[in-house]
Amino acid sequence: MDIDIEKLAIVHYPHPALRKRCETIEKFDEQLAAIAKRMLEIMYAGKGVGLAAPQVGLALRLIVLNPTGEEHDGRIYVNPAIRDMQGNVEAEEGCLSLPGINVNVRRAQRCRIVAQDLQGNPIEHEGSDLLCRIWQHETDHLNGVMIVDRMGPTDRIATRKTLRALEDQFGSKAAG
């Protein structure tokens, strides 16, 4: 796969990349590390706490995140899977691919993530609250699921105009 890493940028709803189920990563090389590094840069520039590869137009099972905002706390997960979900809590979420939209989403309060690092070594962590929420949100992206799919009827009505504007904007770019 030949990817111009410097041209990677956030894609916005309803870009088709956001609805694809991503492919398992089998090649752990310098290009993968460069993609992950660039994704972290894009996430920080967008003032986000997480970013999944489909959000930059790549159908790869790769997520990056930083739950604390501390410079040393950037995290990279390759081929992540969520396990052992416990509890249930509703909280507001936003998404870099859905600018201007914040909705309440019900998620597990505690969970475990099983993944690989950039060298292909297995990693496993347990988390709760915000960290657990980020894992779930970003892993949803890898399966073509977005917060618009998880929001309730009230948020659906409240975001209708913003979603329509994003759809119109995308349509204009695709046509032009």
Residues with a catalytic annotation lie at 138
Are residues 141 and 54 in contact, defined by beta-carbon separation less than 8 angstroms? Answer: yes
Amino acid making up residue 46: G
Are residues 63 and 77 in contact, defined by beta-carbon separation less than 8 angstroms? Answer: yes
Partners of 77 in the β-ladder: 63
Structure tokens at 151: 């929001």
CA distance 149 to 14: 12
